[in-house]
Amino acid sequence: MEGSPIPVLTVPTAPYQDQRPAGGGGLRRPTGLFEGQRNYLPNFIQSVLSSIDLRDRQGCTMVVGSDGRYFSRTATEIVVQMAAANGIGRLIIGQNGILSTPAVSCIIRKIKAAGGIILTASHCPGGPGGEFGVKFNVANGVEIVDPVDIYLNLLRTIFDFNAIKSLLTGPGQLKIRVDAMHGVMGPYVRKVLCDELGAPANSAINCVPLEDFGGQHPDPNLTYATTLLEAMKGGEYGFGAAFDADGDRYMILGQNGFFVSPSDSLAIIAANLPCIPYFRQMGVRGFGRSMPTSTALDRVAKSMKVPVYETPAGWRFFSNLMDSGRCSLCGEESFGTGSDHLREKDGLWAVLVWLSIIAARKQSVEEIVRDHWAKFGRHYYCRFDYEGLEPKTTYYIMRDLEALVTDKSFIGQQFAVGSHVYSVAKTDSFEYVDPVDGTVTKKQGLRIVFSDASRLIFRLSSSSGVRATIRLYAESYERDPSGHDQEPQAVLSPLIAIALKISQIHERTGRRGPTVIT
C-alpha cells in the first residue's frame, strides 16, 4: 500500500579480515568473493554507511554508479537495499547503473550529496573470473539520472568547446581515435567528443559497456590498449586516447603511435595550463604528484614559481591538498591526472586538456612533447610490475631491501654497469606528513637517489586482492637535446640491472621478468 514503511531486516553477520580499504579509498577483490562469500558486499557497504555522518539521514542524498562490469546489477540492488535500511532519504543512480568515477564526484559536488558509492575495480579485468570492487567518495526516493549531462555541463565551464570543435571539424581537421575499452566511458566519449564537439562517429571505438569488457583488460597502457596502438601506428590519426573501466585513467598517443608517458603528460599539462579558460580565470596555486611519478613536474613548477607536493600513491592525499586550496593540478605515473575542478582523477578531462593544447599551439602531439623536452630536458622513465606474487615472499623481499638501502654504509656506494657508474647520494623509506592535517603516513616505498639525480623506487602495491604486486620504478634525466631520441629501455637498463641485483626479485620469486612494463 502506498506510504507503507519498508520493512527493515536485521541480519546477523561476522566481519571479514580482508576488507581494509586500499590506498585508492576502496575495496578490490576477486569477483568470486563478492558472489560466493555470505554478506561479503553487505558487510562492506554497511561499514561505509556507518562511517559517514548521517545524522540527518532522511534528508541525505547519496550517489551510486558502476562501470558496468559483471555483478554490477546485483551489487547495485544490494546498495539500494542497504541505503534504504539505513534510512538514506534519496539515491541518485546512473541510467542502467552506469556512471564514471569523475561523474560521480561531479554530481556529489553539484548537489552537495553526503557521498557516493562506485562499483568498479578500475583497470582490472571483469567477468566471473575477474575482479570487482567498491570505491566510496564522501563529501526514500531513487532518482535515475543521465550518466553524462551533469558532467558535460561542468566541462563546458572549464574548456573552450568552440576551439576544440574547430580543431576536430575545421580546415585541416585533426583525426582522432578514442578507445573506451568497453568500459563506462563509451556514452561519455560519444556524447562529448562526437555529438558535442563534432568528431566523426567512427572516431570512437569499443563504446558499448560490457560486463567482461569484451574479454579484454580495461587498462589504458601499451600492453593492453593494443587495438588503439595498432590503429595509431598506421598514421591515419593524429591523436589517440584510451580510458580504463571507470574513466579515471587515460593514455595519450600521437601520430604513428608516439607514446606520451603519464609523467610527461602531467608535466606538459602543467606547463600549458594557460591554454585552458578555467586556469586563466582561477590561476595556479600548486602541483601535486605521487612519489613514484617522475620529477618532470618539479622542473615545470620551479619555472612557474609554484610549490609541488610529493605524496604517497593514492588519490586521497591529493584530495586534501585540493580541498585546502594548495593544489590546482595533481597526477600519478599510473595514468591518472586531475585538477581542483573535481576531487577525482579524470580521464576525459585530461583528453580535453590535450586537445585544447593542440588547438592553441597548432602543433602535433609529438611536436608538443619534443618542445617540452627541449625546454625542460627529458625524464626517461619506466615501471616494472611483478603481479600475482605470494604476499609472504614480497614482505621478506621488501624487508631485506629496506635493511640494505637504509643502512648508512649504503650512501656513497658505487655501482658500475658497462660504461655507467652510479653513486648513491640519498636513500629512504618514504613517509609523508600531510600539510593540511599533520597526518603521518609511513613506509610508502623505498627510494634510492643517485648523484646524477637518477632514481630507483621499490613499492609494494596494496590495491589488489589476495596476491601481491611489487612495482619497480626507474628514472634518468637527460638535459642535452642530442640525447632525447634514445629508447627508454636502453637508457634505463643499467638502473634496472642495479635494481634487480640488489633486490634479487627474480631469484626470490622464480620470475624471469615483470608482468607488465609501462
Give catalytic residues, as residue numbers: 122
Q: What is the signed CA dihedral for 100, 106, 107, 111, rounded to 10 degrees?
A: 170
Residue type, 256: N
What are the E-state strand segments in 67-194? 90-98, 115-119, 131-138, 141-145, 176-179
Q: Would you put residue 112 in left (φ > 0), alpha (ψ -120 to 50) or beta?
A: left
**Burial of 32: CB neighbours in 10 Å, binned 0-12, 13-18, 19+:** middle
d(CA 415, CA 450): 10
Give helix then strand counts, H and E, for the chain: 17, 24
β-sheet bridge partners, residue 243: 250
Angle between the N-to-C axes of helices 347-361 and 161-169, in degrees from 0 to 180, rounded to the nearest 10: 70
Q: Among positive and negative, which fits the CA dihedral 351, 353, 357, 359?
A: positive
What secondary structure letter does DSSP report for 18?
A: T
Instruction: Say which residue the cell 558532467 belongs to.
Output: 151
d(CA 420, CA 418): 5
Instruction: Say which residue the cell 546485483 belongs to.
Output: 74
Phi, psi of 495 (to 5 degrees): -65, -40
Element (H, E) at 477: strand 468-478
β-sheet bridge partners, residue 309: 288
Residues 6+ apart with CB under 8 A from 274: 280
- Vertex 369, ends 366 and 370: CA angle to 5°? 85
Residues 6+ apart with CB under 8 A from 495: 422, 454, 456, 474, 475, 476
| 277-280 long-range Cβ contacts below 8 angstroms, 24+ apart | 277/158, 277/159, 277/160, 278/157, 278/158, 278/159, 278/339, 278/341, 279/328, 279/339
d(CA 264, CA 252): 10
Residue type, 116: G
d(CA 310, CA 450): 18
Side-chain-side CA neighbours of 417 within 13 Å: the count stands at: 15
Residue type, 339: S
Contact (CB, 8 A) for 478 and 454: no
